Structure 1
Amino acid sequence: MRAAYIHIPFCQHICHYCDFNKVFIDRQPVDLYLDYLEKEIVNTLQVAPFQQLDTIFVGGGTPTALNMAQTEKLLFVINKHLVPRTVNYELTFEANPGDLPKEKLQLLLDGGVNRLSFGVQSFNDELLQSIGRAHTKRDVLTALTEAQEVGFTNLNVDLIYSLPGQTLEDLQDTLETAFTLDVQHFSAYSLIIEPKTVFYNLMRRGKLPLPGEENEANMYEMVIDAMSRNGYSQYEISNFSKPGYESRHNLTYWNNEYYYGFGAGAHSYVDGKRIQNVGPLKKYFETIDAAGFPYLSAHDVTKEEQMEEEMFLGLRKEKGVHKTTFAAKYGISVHEVFEKQIREQVKHGLLEETEHTIRLTRAGKLLGNEVFQTFLME
């Protein structure tokens, strides 16, 4: 086991596109939640201990929505149970630019956090307001500057493109601002309209002016080219970094490796099982009280499913799927399992094969989901 994800389901504001498990933080039992989170961690480690965790990611929700005392309590739990302080590890907190006074930045750094991931999305204040974000461009610039002044040297900025009303010119402006920030990593995602979100309801009523598939593809190519020109290597479909600053946590997912998932609504992949936790807070507390674990479901992943996942997760990486690694993990060559799919996608120009790897082409990145679906067996 190399990785752990910790879910903090509290937000000061709810974004119009977000479908993650979250609640407004006002009048919520935050301290009680942290107590139960620790119970879940302790109980899990008793049945599935780790030798060394390389990466811990605290996401949400908005982890930085916690007050100073709650943040200190969470850091204490992490350091007590999950962080062996003698190893070189990656500890990331997702951060909202409006929630981070310098005192909290210092608390995070002193508590072992060595990577911050800022949910920026855009540098256009009108767009930010239209998607439900509470921060402004100025807030982002201030937060990043203060994080660097405190001593953070590993910063990620999340961007979203294909937003309602967004133009290519607007995205270009956002990218130009982004490259002035001296950060080490960018994640750039196309907007996905999920059920049970404000945007989904607007789309159903025909009131969501999306840019369209052609503009979305043009925006993605703009992102790829701009990142390359500015020294950020694309190591995964939506992720770009300076050398040595790839997200070790996300690589755990794309390498199809095991990871813990702690907290309400979190997902785990442990000892061949994919586990989903219950989401509502009251149910989370009650399930831990009754069973010791907050599981909603647990699925034994078959060998066939593991091989499918190896392909559609591994192909997200710029390096693609390594044929020797596949054979070592599953005792069979990738061509014996997926010969037809590989041949067809190479013919269509969406995959390319070298002596050692199979990976997406540039055209394949634009049609990634279609390529991935071909590796789902009957």
Structure 2
Amino acid sequence: MNIQNTLFNNPFEGYAYSYPHKHAYRPFETAIPLESLWKEESKDGLFLYLHIPFCEMRCGFCNLFTVANPKGNLEEQYMKALQTEANVVSKAIGESQFSRIAVGGGTPTFLNLPLLESLFSIIQETMKVDTSKTPFSFEMSPKTVSLEKLHFLYQNGVDRVSIGIQSFIENEQKTLGRPQKNKEVFDALSMMRSVNFKTLNIDLIYGAFGQTANSWLFSLESALMYDPEEIFIYPLYTRPLTGIMSMNKSETDNRFNLYLLAKEFLLSQSYEQISMRLFRKKAISQTMNGLQYCCQEDGMVGLGSGARSYTKRVHYSSEYAVGSKNVKNIIQNYISKSTSDFASIDYGIRLNDSELKRRYLIKSILQVSGLDINQYNTFFNSDLIKDHPKLLSLLDSGLGFIENETLFKLTTDGIDWSDAIGPWLYSDEIKTKMEGFNLK
């Protein structure tokens, strides 16, 4: 069976947003000291990510590391642990520069204002990031948006705010396990737009049970009423241990047609396609202030339970779970850690040369901009096609092409089949690890 038939048989194999997938992580035989791990790393263009694993509700489609409506003073305890971890990590990494910041979860704006102030103290004082000069993204939900919080974020350098709406039709929201009233959605978007953030991103989901082309188009048109600079469109995946799985309201079979409808509509509205999921206004300048971050080459420092960190050869995090009880146990373990506990890592994956090359490929090829062949060959002192002969199948099938002998790109059809191509490029070793992961 050739690759094109494989793609057309199952265009929604999986979302290759990171490689290796977190399901390939395992406990290390011996803990690795942070200081020695980062000692030889390039640290002049790092990405700083902070994870806040709290939400006001757990959406039916969500398999993220988060807990809904934490009891007692769990948020306060968590922020104290986050401060302790940041103290240790900052010292272990040493002199460094950050080119990007993102705060996700969970829902970071679930935190009250004093805890948000603590969060920014960690970023600005402990991690020593000048947030006024560093691109800074912050996630939120309609229920947790307030003008007070938005003004605080803006005054402290946040220039991109991202909100998950998923659908502007209340019945579809219910089938997604995300009951919300449109009034709070509209109020939240109006408040966000009233503050002068450089970028507003809206997340939408297609494939909800009962969703039609007309209802999907209505959500797209409703989103554009707020003139977002970016729109992410996500196909619905029914994943183990999520609410949708238990509700027996899985995705519909019209996802591919809904994707094509959204793509055609957004392209007609002066958006350009960046990847299968991301559409950005053509008028938005692509120049970024401050240092540039290259996800294929630069490292990432993750703080918080559930956050991942990337050095060149080692990816690591806390353990991962979806079930509420197991998530709470992992968070409690994080809160109880001592300073010495934070000084080493014990869970993740080591990348050999082959996996480093494969990661570079996957993180590049699924973008419309493609992969710079000369840059790859120089970075690895290698040859792209010899390293990844599967790429010849993409060329032969018309799903890939080489532009000006310098860029390997997916064709328009290739981008449409990104969720098949990405997992298809995984190594057998990573696939085996993922299949053997015990999801709790």
TM-score after normalising by structure 2: 0.78
- Asked if residue 365 in structure 1 is aligned to residue 415 in structure 2, the reply is yes
**Hey, what's the Cα distance between the residues in 1 that align with 2:420 and 2:131?**
44
Residue 75 of structure 1, aligned match among 109, 112, 120: 120
Query: Deviations for 1:235-261, whole angstroms, at most 9, x for unmatched residues?
Result: 12211112336999xx95753531111
Q: CA deviation at 1:298?
A: 3.2
TM superposition shift of 1:29: 1.4
Distance 1:245 1:141 in 2: 28
SS in structure 1 opposite 2:274? strand
SS at match of 1:188: strand
* Corresponding residue of 1:220: 259
Please give the secondary structure, in 2, of the residue aligned with 1:264: coil
Change in Cα spacing, 1:329 to 1:28, as seen in structure 2 (3 Å) is: farther
Moved more, 350-359 or 126-135: 126-135
The alpha-carbon deviation at position 370 of structure 1 amounts to 2.9
How far off its partner does 1:198 sit?
Answer: 1.1
Matched to 2:301, the amino acid is: Y
Q: 1:372 to 1:154 in 2, by over 3 A?
A: closer
Say if 1:327 and 1:184 are closer, same or farther in 2 by CA, change over 3 A: same
Q: Is the 8 A contact 2:300 2:311 kept in 1?
A: yes
Number of residue equivalences: 369
Name the SS for the 2:334 alignment partner. Answer: helix
Indicate the residue corresponding to 2:437 in structure 1.
Answer: none
Structure-2 change in CA distance of 1:161 and 1:222 (3 Å): same
Deviates more, 1:233-242 or 1:22-31: 22-31
AA of the residue aligned to 2:349: H
1:267 lines up with 2:335 in the alignment:
no
Which secondary structure does the structure 2 equivalent of 1:123 belong to? coil
- The Cα shift of 1:118 comes to 0.6
RMSD: 2.3
Which of 118, 129, 149 is the equivalent residue of 2:174?
129
Residue 11 of structure 1, aligned match among 40, 48, 55: 55
Which ranges of 4 or more aligned residues in structure 1 deviate by more than 4 Å?
A: 245-248, 251-254
Q: CA deviation at 1:114?
A: 1.8
Q: Residue 305 of structure 1: SS of its match in structure 2?
A: helix
Alignment-mate amino acid for residue 341 of structure 2: A
The letter for the 2-side match of 1:343 is L
Cα 1:246–1:262 shift into 2, 3 Å: farther
Q: How does 1:345-364 map to 2 (within 5 A)?
A: 345-354=394-403, 355-364=405-414
Kept after mapping to 1: 8 A contact 2:84/2:339: no
Q: Which residue of 2 aligns with 1:234?
A: 273
| Bigger relative contact order, structure 1 or 2 (CA pairs below 8 A, ≥6 apart) | 2
Q: CA deviation at 1:334?
A: 0.2
Match of 2:67 among 14, 19, 23: 23
Task: Give unpaired runs (5+ residues) of structure 2.
Answer: 1-44, 321-329, 429-440
Equivalents in 2 of 1:16, 1:365: separation in Å? 27
How big is the shift at 1:322?
A: 0.9
Q: Distance in 2 between the 1:209 and 1:299 partners?
A: 32
Q: Show the counterpart of 2:152.
A: 107
- Between 1:347-356 and 1:238-247, the stretch displaced more is 238-247
CA distance in 2, matches of 1:374, 1:195: 21
1:208 is the counterpart of 2:257: no
Contact 1:288/1:294 (<8 A) preserved: no
5 Å-filtered alignment, 1:1-378, equals 1-24=45-68, 25-49=70-94, 51-82=96-127, 84-85=129-130, 88-202=133-247, 207-212=248-253, 215-242=254-281, 243-244=284-285, 255=296, 257-278=298-319, 280-293=330-343, 295-338=345-388, 340-354=389-403, 355-378=405-428
Residue identity over aligned pairs, in percent, reads: 24
Please tell me the residue identity of whatever aligns with 1:3.
F
- Contact 1:253-1:313 at 8 Å conserved across structures: no
Letter in 2 for 1:228: L
Q: Work out the CA distance in 1 between the residues paired with 2:420 and 2:145.
A: 40
Q: 1:253 to 1:17 in 2, by over 3 A?
A: farther
Residues 64-91 of structure 1, C-alpha deviations (whole Å, 9 max, x = no match): 1111211121122212133532863111
Cα offset for 1:112?
2.2
Residues 311 and 372 in structure 1, CA contact (< 8 A), matched pair in contact too: no
In structure 2, the CA distance between the partners of 1:5 and 1:247, relative to structure 1 (3 Å rule), is farther
Contact 1:16–1:198 (CA<8 Å) still a contact in 2? Answer: yes
- Hey, what's the Cα distance between the residues in 2 that align with 1:91 and 1:275? 23
Kindly indicate whether the alpha-carbon contact (under 8 Å) linking 1:117 and 1:157 is maintained by their aligned counterparts in 2.
Answer: yes
1:274 Cα deviation from its structure 2 partner: 0.4
Deviation digits for residues 148-189 of structure 1, max 9, x if unmatched?
A: 323223111111111122111111111111112111111111
Unaligned 5+ segments in structure 1 are: none
Secondary structure at 2:241 match in 1: coil
The structure-2 alpha-carbon separation of the partners of 1:129 and 1:27, relative to structure 1 and needing over 3 Å to count, comes to: farther
* Aligned mates of 1:299, 1:272 — CA distance in 2: 8
